[in-house]
Amino acid sequence: MIELIPAIDIIDGKCVRLSQGDYESKKVYNENPVEVAKEMEAHGIRRLHVVDLDGAASHHVVNYRTLNRIASETSLIIDFGGGVKSDEDLKIAFENGAQMVTGGSIAVKNPELFCRWLDIYGSEKIILGADVKDRRIAVNGWKDESACELFPFLKEYIEKGVRKVICTDISCDGMLQGPSLKLYQEMLEQYPELYLIASGGVSCMNDIHALESAGVPAVIFGKALYEGRITLKEIEKNMICHSS
């Protein structure tokens, strides 16, 4: 069964969503992300993707208090990303309840540091963030495009021990028009051993079933849930059907 990972994106301590990474498109869905996380857990969700959007756009982790509250008031397994750009940021994330940390910009700008984290914490705790725009890696909360192309970037880090990758096609993110199925199929054809976490574009349960049929191990989704296109009851039912 594909692993279902709802996302909670945070700006100013609030649960928000963007479209295509555009901060001007911000829509607040809940003033209290902890309430959102608790409701998800009540419907059988076990894993959560928390993004510090303030941190992603700056140079350090910002919303660690919200992370701490989600972690201390639920039993969810949390992977955390956004603004993790130094040893201190990584320490803050783990100390405030993240079990896994996603590094994207840092893997482009300071590969030595990212690889050291990989060596120290291992591939179960350090996830590579590969957010792409026209198949190039985007950094700094998607505001900047790097010169790194996706497939050479993946190859380099897989050879260095990366096993888990979150890949977001920015053109799809928040648009509710379906995920980049072809891109993910290409990635898995080239790297079948990769634990690929698809992100961006999911609009309904059929999109999740399509990803599962394509062999994608895990999926992150957010806006479809907040807009009511996927319900927590649907997710719960889907998980029960798979486990029975």
Q: Which of 54, 79, 131, 173 is catalytic?
A: 131
Query: Do residues 161 and 126 touch, judged by C-beta distance below 8 A?
Result: no
Cα–Cα distance for residue pair 47/33, rounded to 1 Å: 15
Residue 9 is a catalytic residue: yes
Query: Do residues 194 and 188 touch, judged by C-beta distance below 8 A?
Result: yes
Query: Do residues 158 and 123 touch, judged by C-beta distance below 8 A?
Result: no
Estimate the crossing angle of helix 33-42 against helix 232-243, to 10 degrees.
Answer: 30
Please give the structure tokens belonging to residue 164: 């888990």
List strand residue ranges (DSSP E) for 20-73, in order: 22-30, 47-52
User: Amino acid identity, residue 18?
Assistant: L
Query: Do residues 15 and 33 touch, judged by C-beta distance below 8 A?
Result: yes
Distance of CA 39 to CAs 43, 70, 148, 225, Å?
A: 7, 11, 39, 12
Residue 131 is a catalytic residue: yes
Query: Do residues 137 and 130 touch, judged by C-beta distance below 8 A?
Result: yes
List, by residue number, the catalytic residues.
9, 131
